[in-house]
């Protein structure tokens, strides 16, 4: 009898342990019809009008991922994320990095002390900008497109990041990549990346910065303020690629009512060493929610003198 009781207790404890661990399949699919004239379109997108998927003019790059989490007790958890991009044109896998899991390949541990994250992921400075940017960091964001997501793109490989807990509305991320994990033009160069933000009621303010070894520092100071159905956002941008700089300001507004939202966002260069002249870039976006997980969108992006547009749909799962 005692043996049977002990066995039942062991099985119960084992079941409880397994119940604390989970793996979730998640992702998003996004496709539309549009025209891309800026840069080299991704995947199978052409400069003519056609199907757009995982391109500049999609709301999000289609992707599928695995997210695991385990509660290890004491308010602490350990987890991982593996995420790959998909081109809906022909079903090809599109890595945002060198491999299949190029969108994200990371492990993390979190608790009341904060979060420690290891692996390829979105930069700390990206998250700082995403906190106030009006489209929710859409691929076609005029702020992200013009200033390359605070100068150095949205993701970094080999990234070690610490995220602080929320302290009366203040929080921040600090990331570092060792030189051996960040080879640029056959040169091993370290990189640091950070953001600090304040969120309080209708106000969000964030400062982002990053620097690759032997290059200039990139930074952005931005914020947004919401009142009723309206949200206003503005920022100052200083983006650097090696020694070349692009400086400017952004100003935009969003109106949301019921199932509909409209965004108008504008960037203006003060200095542009990335190109031959200074530009005023514009994004006009409209969205209509079909459900909590799906919506239709239309977007027009005037980017460095070239016109781009799309009409599409997105579903999250």
Residue 220 near residue 207 (C-beta atoms within 8 A): yes
Phi, psi dihedral angles at 125 (to 5 degrees): -65, -30
Burial call 263-295: b when 16+ CB within 10 Å, e when fewer: bebbbebeebebeeeebebbbbbebeeeeeeeb
Which pLDDT tens digits describe the chain residue by residue (317 residues)? 444 444 333 434 444 444 478 999 999 999 999 999 987 555 445 567 999 999 999 999 999 999 999 999 999 999 999 999 999 988 888 876 668 899 999 999 999 999 999 999 999 999 999 999 999 999 999 999 999 999 999 999 999 999 999 999 999 999 999 999 999 889 999 999 999 999 999 999 999 999 999 999 999 999 999 999 999 999 999 999 999 999 999 999 999 999 999 999 999 999 999 999 999 999 999 999 999 999 999 999 999 999 999 999 999 99
C-alpha to C-alpha distance for 142 and 56, rounded to whole angstroms: 10
Query: Two tokens at 114?
Result: 């904060």
């Amino acid at each position: 009898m005692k043996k049977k009781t002990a066995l039942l207790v062991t099985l119960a404890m084992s079941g409880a342990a397994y119940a604390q661990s989970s793996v979730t399949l998640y992702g998003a699919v996004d496709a539309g019809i549009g025209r891309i004239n800026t840069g080299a379109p991704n995947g199978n997108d052409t400069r003519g009008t056609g199907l757009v998927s995982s391109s500049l003019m999609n709301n999000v790059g289609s992707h599928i991922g695995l997210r695991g989490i385990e509660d290890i007790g004491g308010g602490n958890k350990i987890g991982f994320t593996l995420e790959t991009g998909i081109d809906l044109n022909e079903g090809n896998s599109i890595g945002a990095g060198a491999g299949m899991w190029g969108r994200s390949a990371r492990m993390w541990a979190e608790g009341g002390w904060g979060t420690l994250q290891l692996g390829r992921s979105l930069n700390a400075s990206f998250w700082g900008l995403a906190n106030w940017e009006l489209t929710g960091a859409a691929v076609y964001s005029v702020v992200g497109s013009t200033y390359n997501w605070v100068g150095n793109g949205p993701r970094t490989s080999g990234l070690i990041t610490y995220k602080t807990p929320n302290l009366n509305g203040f929080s921040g991320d600090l990331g570092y990549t060792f030189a051996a994990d960040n080879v640029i033009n056959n040169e091993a160069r370290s990189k640091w990346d950070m953001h600090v933000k304040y969120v309080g009621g209708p106000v969000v303010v964030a400062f982002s910065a990053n620097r690759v070894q032997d290059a200039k520092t990139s930074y952005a100071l931005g914020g947004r303020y919401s009142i009723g159905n309206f949200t206003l956002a503005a920022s100052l941008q200083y983006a650097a690629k090696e020694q070349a700089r692009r400086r400017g300001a952004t100003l935009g507004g969003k109106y949301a009512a019921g199932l509909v939202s409209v965004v108008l966002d504008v960037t203006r260069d003060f200095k542009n060493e990335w190109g031959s002249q200074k530009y005023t870039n514009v994004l006009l976006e409209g969205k209509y929610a079909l459900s909590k997980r799906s919506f239709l969108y239309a977007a027009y992006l005037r980017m460095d003198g070239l016109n781009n547009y799309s009409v599409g749909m997105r579903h999250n799962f």
